[in-house]
Structure 1
Amino acid sequence: MVQLQRIAIAPEQIQDEHLILTAEQQHYLGRVLRLKQGDRFIIIAAQGQWWIVELMVNLPSASPQGKLIERVLIQTELSVEIILIVALPKGDGFEEIVRCCTELGVTQFIPVMSQRTVLKPSVQKVERWRRIATEAAEQSERQIVPTIFDPVSFKQGLLLSIKPMNQGESSNFKLKKKYQYICEGRGNYQHFMVELISVTSKQIPDKIIIATGPEGGWTEAEIQEAIAIGFQPISLGKRILRAVTAPIVAVSQLVGMIEKRE
């Protein structure tokens, strides 16, 4: 297949096998990429569906602007749902985490305010994170755009991560095999890779939750709070990693092990 541009869309943009583009998408396709009537591109729709779409008009134009031509079958998603809980780092560090970990295959990001968190993000900042996730999903040919939750407290983040996302999942939630880890730079904890070898040698789980800490690390109270609801402390190695580096390292190790076993 000729390399086609990919854009992520909301489900309601598809109506009767036609596509309604937002003003921003029309600007990008028409002005930036200079696509014209008859040109084709790929949309990433709900439930991981890819479609080839043909422009019916030159952009900008009144809706609908595109027609769905052909379903594209592709498998880029991991067999494991990866949920990443991140204590927000200073500056724009979370943007780098979102971009890299979206490319690696994370399905949900839960930004949390820990006891040592300094950043207090605005609504605009959260929307920027979601745009970055969309761009990274398009670039890396993901079938889905990961969910980024609004920032919550550390405790809320832990509880949110272990709850089913929807009613359909709740019916068999207890049957799902999941593992929950909290990364800690100090302490005599088992290396994450050793744990993953043990876990995946038996059966690849349905869901893995990873929590990574802020600058200065988790407090002892936070570690104990996580342990109390089933999280296992693990190490990412002998060196102390930056708050931005740790989640990328953890997810990289996990994805490497999953793809090796699949």
Structure 2
Amino acid sequence: MSGPRIHVAADFPVGGDVVLPDGAARHVALVLRLREGASLTLFDGAGNEAAAVLVEAGRKRVVARIEHVETGRGESPLSVHLGQAISKGDRMDYAIQKAVELGVAVITPLYTEHGDVRLKGDREAKKLAHWQGVAASACEQCGRATIPPVHPPCSLQAWLAQRDEPLRLVLHPATQGVLQPELSPAAAALLIGPEGGLSEAEVAAAREAKFTPLSLGPRILRTETAPVVALSLLQYRFGDLA
């Protein structure tokens, strides 16, 4: 596949035309300044990738003709569900972006005791749409054809109650916990707390839900740095970075 990668949630009929939605069309025509005849790669976010060529590239309408379709690559054999405490500003965007680049399968933003972000109503819906857009953009950059879903924010307690992954880890600096080399899980849950850390009660609740405390070394990492390090370790040990 050649050319820039563009997410388009559509069917890809070989030999047929796909009209790009407004956001993707503006990016192709006004930002990338591609013209008729240019090659590009489309992916549907559900695992399919298409080689395409532009047949129309106007200011108001962009159309790509599908030349070839194949199953996308870049998905890790390790399915990680990341429970990430919500942080302020662009720190949450960074955590989601890097988690997607590192092969995360699902992301759930979490409300925690020491977290200082609370979203309601339209604000929550807008933020969720924004985070899903961050995930889509990360897939465009890193070569994934499947966009990990970003679930609506929920409480830590509700998230813990839903977990059944064979490997469940909670980052906790006050522990000597390390990854056990004899494990070979196909799925894992990873819990990362807010800037102020998880409370003792929350760590206890995670333990009760069969989460194993994991330390990332002697230094305290920021909440947006922790998923980068933890996912890198998981992918190296159990996924596709070895």
Q: 2:204 maps to what in 1?
A: 224
Give, in whole Å, the separation in 2 of the partners of 1:161 and 1:111: 14
TM-score of the pair, normalised by structure 2 = 0.88
Give CA-to-partner distance per residue, 1:202-256, whole Å, 9 cap, x none.
xx32211100111221112111212222222221212222222212111111112
8 Å CA contact 1:49, 1:71 repeated in 2: yes
Q: Is the 2:20–2:61 contact (alpha carbons within 8 Å) kept by the matching residues of 1?
A: no
1:37 paired to 2:39: no
Q: Which residue of 2 aligns with 1:172?
A: none
RMSD: 2.2
**2:137 match: secondary structure:** helix
Q: Is the 8 A contact 1:101 1:248 kept in 2?
A: yes
Equivalent residue letter for 1:129: W
What residue is the counterpart of 1:18 in the other structure? 17
SS in 2 for 1:86: strand
Q: Deviations over 1:36-80 (max 9, x none)?
A: 2222211112531110112222324558x2221012455321111
Structure 1 residues 62, 32: CA separation in 2 closer, same or farther (over 3 Å shift)? closer
Q: How far, CA to CA, are the matches of 1:67 and 1:142 in structure 2?
A: 21
Whole-Å separation in 2 of the counterparts to 1:180 and 1:135: 28
Q: How far off is 1:31 after superposition?
A: 1.5
Q: Does 1:198 align with 2:182?
A: yes
Note the 1:20-99 alignment, pairs <5 A: 20-60=19-59, 65-72=63-70, 74-99=72-97
Give distance in 1, aligned partners of 2:33 and 2:225: 37
- Sequence identity (%): 25
| Counterpart residue type for residue 130 of structure 1 | Q
Q: TM-score normalised to the size of structure 1?
A: 0.82
Name the structure where helix makes up a greater proportion of residues.
1
Matches within 5 A, 1:102-113: 102-113=100-111
- How far the C-alpha of 1:84 sits from its partner, in A, is 0.6
Q: C-alpha distance in 1, partners of 2:146/2:163?
A: 19
Gaps of 5+ in 1: 163-176
Query: SS of 2:36's equivalent?
Result: coil
**1:96-130 CA-partner distances (Å, limit 9, x unpaired):** 10111111111111110001110124332222222
TM-superposed deviation, 1:18 = 2.9
Q: 1:125 to 1:20 in 2, by over 3 A?
A: same
1:249 to 217, 229, 238: 229
- Displacement, 1:137? 0.8
Distance 2:241 2:56 in 1: 45
Q: Which residue of 2 aligns with 1:174?
A: none
In the alignment, structure 2 segments of 5+ residues that lack a partner are none
- Taking a change above 3 Å as real, the CA distance of residues 55 and 182 of structure 1, as seen in their structure-2 partners, is same
For 1:9 and 1:142, how far apart are their aligned partners in 2?
Answer: 13
Q: Residues 53, 113 of structure 1: CA spacing in aligned structure 2 closer, same or farther, 3 A cutoff?
A: same
Q: CA deviation at 1:140?
A: 0.7
Aligned-partner Cα distance in 1 for 2:160–2:41: 36
SS state at 1:100 partner: helix
Q: Find the counterpart in structure 2 of residue 155 from structure 1.
A: 157
Per-residue deviation, 1:28: 0.9
Secondary structure of the corresponding residue to residue 67 of structure 1: strand
